[in-house]
């Protein structure tokens, strides 16, 4: 399977800026990796229009577990589908930390996303303190068993919290060890289906380190924040990815 290079634009880009970036990506995307961009909600439909019929898929950055209802400020999975999304990032550490999202709540969102026909990208990862205390695999293990529902068939992203936006990355051995652990956990929880789940790495992926990270075992692609905001950087990372 080709690797997936996914851009998480977070709370960046007004509509005109998002459209310009989407156009640049569409013009520059070569064959090889699968590409995905996750714009803010306000730009999602416009970006989906620009990228319709291209090799670049569009995703949301979060959704609510309910289909509709009295949930001020929230967006449902069917709304994301309706706006042109095929994927949704769930349980990002910025949601877990800034909005107090528990793994149980993330699991409800994953169920809703799958029911709406979206592919969930479920984020897990330890804090610096957890890694210093030797609790990184235990933390990620709990997040996986708590966040993934029975019959899970989506994507997992390993994003060490301390690597996000910091310019720091784990060593290649540390990434390989964690991806091996996640693969074993997925196989334990879901059998053969768990062996097929792509596992992305995220946290300070840049053009300069992409080739090394993407070449490690059990890496299904990358989830990219900062470097996904610049077309040339995102396309350079995509160029370092393994095709099908
Ligand atoms: P970063 O963010 O690439 O800016 O470190 C990654 C993420 O949060 O998905």
**Ligand 1 pocket mutation pick from 10, 206, 225, 237 by most atoms within 8 angstroms of CB:** 225
For ligand 1, pick from 223, 229, 230 the residue to mutate: most ligand atoms within 8 Å of CB: 223
- For ligand 1, the distance from its centroid to the CA atom of residue 70, given in whole angstroms, is 31
Check pocket membership of 204 for ligand 1, CB cut-off 6 A.
Answer: yes
| Residue-level pLDDT at 2 | 93
Ranges in the chain, pLDDT < 70: 244
Tell how far the Cα of 101 is from the centroid of ligand 1, in angstroms. 18
Is the torsion defined by CA of 93, 98, 102, 107 positive or negative? negative
Helices (H), 9-40: 15-28
- The answer to whether 66 and 93 are in contact (CB under 8 A) is no
Q: Give residue 1's pLDDT.
A: 86
pLDDT in the model for residue 78: 98
CA of 125 to the centre of ligand 1 (A): 12
Q: Whose CA is nearest to atom 3 of ligand 1?
A: 225
What is the three-class DSSP state of 78? Answer: helix
Which pLDDT value is given to residue 244? 61
Q: What percent of the chain has pLDDT over 70?
A: 100
231 lines ligand 1 (CB under 6 A): no
As a three-state string, the secondary structure of 152-174 is: CCCEEEECCHHHCCCCCCCCHHH
Element (H, E) at 69: none
**pLDDT at site 30:** 86
Domains of the chain: 66-156 (3.20.20.70)
Atom of ligand 1 nearest to the CA of 164: 5
pLDDT of residue 20: 98
Handedness of CA 154, 160, 165, 170 (dihedral sign): negative
What number does the ligand 1 atom closest to the CA of 206 have?
Answer: 3
Tell me which of 164, 201, 214, 229 to substitute to probe ligand 1's pocket, judged by most ligand atoms within 8 Å of the beta carbon: 164
């Amino acid at each position: 399977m080709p690797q997936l290079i996914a851009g998480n634009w977070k709370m960046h880009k007004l509509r005109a800026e998002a459209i310009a970036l989407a156009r640049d990506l569409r013009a520059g995307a070569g064959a090889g990796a699968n590409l995905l961009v996750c714009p803010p909600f306000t730009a999602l439909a416009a970006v989906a229009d620009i990228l319709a019929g291209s090799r670049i898929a569009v995703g949301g950055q979060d959704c609510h577990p309910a289909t509709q209802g009295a949930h001020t400020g929230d967006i449902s999975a069917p709304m994301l589908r309706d706006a042109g999304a095929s994927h949704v990032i769930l349980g990002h550490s910025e949601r877990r930390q800034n909005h107090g999202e528990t793994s149980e709540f993330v699991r409800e969102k994953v169920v809703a996303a799958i029911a709406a026909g979206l592919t969930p990208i479920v984020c897990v990862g330890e804090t610096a303190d957890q890694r210093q205390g030797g609790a990184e695999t235990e933390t990620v293990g709990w997040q996986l068993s708590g966040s993934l529902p029975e019959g899970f068939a989506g994507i997992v992203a390993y994003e060490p919290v301390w690597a996000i936006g910091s310019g720091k990355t784990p060593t290649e051995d540390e990434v390989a060890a964690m991806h091996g652990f996640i693969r074993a956990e997925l196989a334990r929880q879901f059998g053969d289906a768990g062996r097929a789940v792509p596992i992305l790495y995220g946290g300070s992926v840049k053009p300069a380190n992409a080739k090394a990270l993407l070449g490690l075992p059990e890496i299904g692609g990358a989830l990219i924040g900062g470097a996904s905001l610049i077309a040339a950087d995102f396309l350079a990372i995509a160029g370092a990815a393994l095709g099908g």
